[in-house]
Amino acid sequence: MNKKNTLQAAMFAEMQNKDLFRKAKNHAFNYLNSAFDRTIFPTEKALQNLEKFEESMPEKSGNGEAIIDLLHLYGTPATIPYNGRYFGFVNGSMIPTSLAAKNLSIYWDQNAAMHIMSPITAKLELVVQNWLIELFGLPKHTVAGFVSGTSMANLAALTAARFRLLKNKGWDVTEQGLFGAPKIRVVTHTHIHSSILKAISLAGFGKANIESVDCDEHGRIIPENIPELDDSTLLVLQAGNVSSGAYDNFEVICKTAKEQGAWIHIDGAFGLWAGATKRLKHLTKGFEHADSYAVDGHKTLNTPYDSGVILCQDEEALVSALHTSASYLESTNQREGMYYTPEMSKRARAIEMWAALKYLGKEGIDEMIFGMHERAKEFARGLQNIEGFEVLNDIVYNQVIVQCETDELTLAVMHKIQELRECWAGGATWYGRKVIRISVCSWATTSEDVNRSVASFEKAYKHVVGV
């Protein structure tokens, strides 16, 4: 029998006696017990206590249970519970079954790169891919890559578009690079999300080369202002404006753009899920004519974080743009997850998405997402009925944008709302004016949560104006 060194022996003991894991589980359960009752933002004391983590790198190995206790003692109070009264940054909550599935998969610790590294992950990726195709009503040849989020999904989609558009011109960008390549036109609108601008930059298109198209008052691209497109054009559209929630008119735009030979990509980080519902599906009508889509699980679907999907109707383009081969990579006739993502080694994030979809089913998805829409409308009605707030957008999905009489007052009221810690909403700029942006994207948000939050808005306004 091989003799174990001291560190090995300690870690083997922790794996076998499970005390370390029981302690972490107990702390986690205590956190869940309080997550829906605590203040929405950490207290000042909790923030100050984060200094406890500032120390020199330890010289010697530590005690596992003491480390978990330290993390719980000072880390837990400094977290933000994405509960029913958190309305910032389109941050979703977590469906319990999905969270539990992630917890189990953490212990599995699977590398989702290849089938021979994790058969269960490869199978669930394929199942989720097929379910998403069915839910969204996409062609059966569509393929999915499971990435960290929409930022990475957008990048994957744009590199696939780059490959196809250049390949059609006789240029293999994978082999020849971009130097001397035919020009690709990038057409999108002035309200496109910053993650698209990042992807455009990273893909080598250059933000300065964007042909920008004006939007209407709700942040939707104006179809008649889109220039003549061709087979060298990448057209980027949006399912869910990050402030107003508005959708581009896919039915009018996509079919014509396809006939002109353009590659159409739809950024649908939180808004694409409307296409998986009965009562909001009209918002995505015509989007099946696009070539690629980016969507998050950790927003509207309420999976745990680090869950995004690139959906692409051109498998060859996606795989050719992202695929890496090496002699030690033993490919099989099974699904190889790394072929559809920029990553090779990657977390098995499809497991918790499978659990969420399996748990909710089609009816549950419709109920949950339409419920967010209903709560957003309630929020807007509540604010319209109190003095000091003006709602600026039509509530077509789950976003509400409001402002006060002046920019200065809007910012002051927003900061007071955040300080009160009853609910949390962030800010944005909407057509040159400062606004408060409310994103209803948690399964846990109830009408009571909305009423409490509206009351906090009113309290903050009265405090600022001195009423």
Any idea what the CATH number is for the domain that residue 424 is in?
A: 3.90.1150.10
Residues 6+ apart with CB under 8 A from 3: none
Question: Residue 265: inside a domain, yes or no?
Answer: yes
| Range of weakest confidence among 152-161, 316-325, 384-393 | 316-325
Which two structure tokens, joined as six digits, stand for 429?
């700029």
Domains: count for the chain: 3
Domain stops at, among 298, 322, 357? 357
445 falls within a domain? yes
Are the CB atoms for 207 and 201 separated by under 8 Å?
yes
Same domain? 240 vs 327: yes
* Residue 177 reports pLDDT greater than 60: yes
Q: Are residues 326 and 436 in the same domain?
A: no
The reported pTM is 0.95
CA angle 331, 140, 321 (to 5 degrees): 45
Whether 80 shows a pLDDT value over 70: the answer reads: yes
Domain boundary among 53, 81, 109: 81
- pLDDT single digits (tens) 271-321: 999 999 999 999 999 999 999 999 999 999 999 999 999 999 999 999 999
Domain with 68, as residue range(s), is: 6-81
Residues in the chain: 467
Name which residue leads in pLDDT, 242 or 4: 242
Residues 249, 371, single domain; the answer is no
Domain-embedded: residue 88: no
Instruction: Give residue 384's pLDDT band: very low, low, confident or very high (50, 70, 90).
Output: very high
If pLDDT is split at 50, 70 and 90, which confidence band does 326 have? low
86 in a domain, yes or no? Answer: no
Proportion of the chain above pLDDT 90, given as a percent: 94
Sheet holding 433-439, edge to edge: 390-391, 399-403, 433-439, 426-430
Read off the CATH number of the domain in which 253 is found: 3.40.640.10
* Residue burial 303-315, b: 16+ Cβ < 10 Å; e: rest: bbbbbbbbbbbbe
One domain for residues 346 and 376:
no
pLDDT value at residue 467: 80
Tell whether 215 and 283 lie within a shared domain.
yes
Q: How far is it, in rounded angstroms, from Cα 89 to Cα 91? A: 5
Tell me, yes or no, whether 342 and 214 share the same domain: yes
Could you list the beta-strand ranges (E) of 80-229: 143-147, 185-189, 210-213
Give the pLDDT confidence score for residue 328 in this predicted structure.
Answer: 62
In a domain, 92, yes or no: no
Q: How many CA atoms lie within 13 A of 13 on its CB side?
A: 10
208 in the same domain as 71: no
Residues 348 and 368 in one domain: no
The pLDDT of residue 325 is 67
93 lies in a domain? no
Residues 262 and 374 in one domain: no
* Calpha distance 87→380 (Å, rounded): 13
Read off the pLDDT of each residue in 32-38 and give the average, rounded to a whole number.
90
For residues 59 and 108, membership in a common domain is answered with no
pLDDT of residue 38: 87
Position 329 confidence tier, pLDDT thresholds 50, 70, 90: low
Q: Is the pLDDT of residue 225 over 70?
A: yes
Q: Using alpha carbons only, what angle is made at residue 243 by residues 248 and 384, rounded to the nearest 5 degrees?
A: 110
Instruction: Evaluate whether residue 87 is within a structural domain.
Output: no
> Which helix (H) or strand (E) segment is 361 a member of?
helix 350-384
Question: Quick check: is 90 in a domain?
Answer: no
CB under 8 Å to 174, separation ≥6 — which residues?
163, 320, 321
Domain boundary pick from 81, 116, 131: 81
Same domain, residue pair 137 and 271: yes
Average per-residue pLDDT in the chain?
95
Residues 59 and 143 in one domain: no
Task: Strands of 34-184 (E only): list them.
Answer: 143-147
Rounded to the nearest 5°, which phi and psi values hold at 424?
-140, 130
